């Protein structure tokens, strides 16, 4: 399978990329690592006239300690984010999710920003960045603006990024000392989750002081399981207490029905996986 013909440009700076985007507008598509876009182009589900490659923009790569948050360059590969010591220390949930994302080869090419901008509801990064209250930095002709993760995901494959803007950085607030787990349910190795749950927990002795829970593939966007988060506060990290709180996991969700499972089945998976993820994040045996 070969993509339809397109013109290609690989700008050396964000400004040049924005200029190319302004010039070609609707006819252009941004390529980051290309691990989602190239299959789409090969299957001819999309046929842009121009492809603007961000791969040569070095300033968009790397993870930086920015005080109260980590600044992750949009073009940092999954592999590099996943292995990053700062991410492991301050945003363990992101490291955990990346270890379940696709396979080694895809993680070498695919990028943190590219995956988020693609906004596949079954993508593995939406739920963790939403759970950790990340902020997306997008740059356009008028400069940069910040978008909260909660406002970033609009619908299936749709984000708050405007046609003339590029996602340049993701700011992940530090959650130092929080336990974390990403529980992903798949039928086939290295595939997208049927449902996955991202959980981060801050313990205070034997009790859960705070919890953050994000859901993957339980609606047209990643979701926060706020009812579970609220129910967990002050609870002991016991199997019974956590399972009780997790019964709220699918509250307000609108999961798809497809060949992998019905909406009802996904609701059930969400409660089971939420309990497992929270218990694992709390350092408890999930059995």
Partner 1 sequence: MTRISLTVDGQQVADDVEPRTLLVHYLRERLGKTGTVVGCDTSNCGACTVHLDGTSVKSCNVLAVQADGCEVTTIEGVAADGGLHPVQEAFRECHGLQCGYCTPGMIMQTIDLLAENPDPSEEAIRSGLEGNLCRCTGYHNIVKAVQHAAGQAAPTSSQPAEGVGA
Contact call for residue 7 and partner 1 (CB under 8 A): yes
For partner 1, the closer of residues 98 and 232 by Cβ is 98
Contact call for residue 13 and partner 1 (CB under 8 A): no
Contact with partner 1 (CB under 8 A) among 46, 105, 257, 262: 105
Contact call for residue 177 and partner 1 (CB under 8 A): no
Helices 239-246 and 263-281, packing angle to 10 deg: 140
Contact call for residue 88 and partner 1 (CB under 8 A): no
Report whether 57 contacts 15 (CB < 8 A): no
Least distance CB 83 / partner 1 (angstroms): 9
Contact call for residue 103 and partner 1 (CB under 8 A): yes
Contact with partner 1 (CB under 8 A) among 14, 19, 24, 55: 55
Contact call for residue 4 and partner 1 (CB under 8 A): yes
Contact call for residue 181 and partner 1 (CB under 8 A): no
Contact call for residue 259 and partner 1 (CB under 8 A): no
Contact with partner 1 (CB under 8 A) among 14, 19, 38, 272: 38
Contact call for residue 5 and partner 1 (CB under 8 A): yes
Contact call for residue 3 and partner 1 (CB under 8 A): yes
Report whether 256 contacts 233 (CB < 8 A): no
Least distance CB 31 / partner 1 (angstroms): 8
Return residues touching partner 1 (CB under 8 A): 1-8, 10, 31, 34-35, 38-39, 41-43, 51, 53, 55, 79, 102-106, 108-109, 189-190
């Amino acid at each position: 399978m070969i993509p339809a013909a397109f013109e290609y440009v690989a700008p050396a700076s964000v400004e040049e990329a924005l200029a190319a985007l302004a010039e070609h507008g609707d006819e252009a598509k941004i390529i980051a690592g290309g691990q989602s876009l190239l299959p789409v182009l090969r299957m001819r589900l999309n046929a842009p006239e121009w492809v603007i490659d961000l791969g040569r923009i070095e300033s968009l790569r790397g993870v930086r300690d920015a005080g109260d948050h980590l600044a992750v360059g949009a073009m940092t590969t999954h592999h590099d984010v996943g292995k990053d010591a700062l991410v492991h220390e301050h945003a363990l949930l992101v490291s955990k999710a990346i270890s379940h994302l696709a396979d080694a080869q895809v993680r070498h090419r695919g990028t943190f920003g590219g995956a988020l901008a693609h906004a596949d509801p079954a993508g593995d990064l939406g739920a963790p960045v939403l759970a950790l209250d990340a902020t997306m930095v997008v740059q356009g002709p008028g400069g940069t603006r910040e978008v909260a993760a909660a406002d970033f995901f609009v619908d299936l494959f749709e984000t708050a990024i405007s046609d003339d803007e590029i996602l340049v950085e993701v700011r992940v607030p530090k959650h130092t000392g929080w336990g974390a787990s990403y529980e992903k349910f798949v039928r086939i190795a290295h595939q997208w989750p049927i449902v996955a749950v991202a959980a981060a927990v801050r313990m205070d002795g034997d009790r859960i002081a705070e919890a953050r829970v994000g859901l993957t593939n339980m609606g047209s966007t990643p979701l926060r399981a706020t009812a579970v988060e609220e129910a967990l506060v002050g609870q002991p990290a016991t199997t019974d207490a956590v399972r009780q709180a997790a019964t709220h996991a699918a509250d307000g969700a609108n999961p798809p029905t497809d060949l992998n499972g019905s909406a009802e089945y996904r609701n059930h998976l969400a409660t089971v996986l939420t309990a497992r993820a929270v218990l694992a994040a709390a350092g408890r045996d999930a059995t």
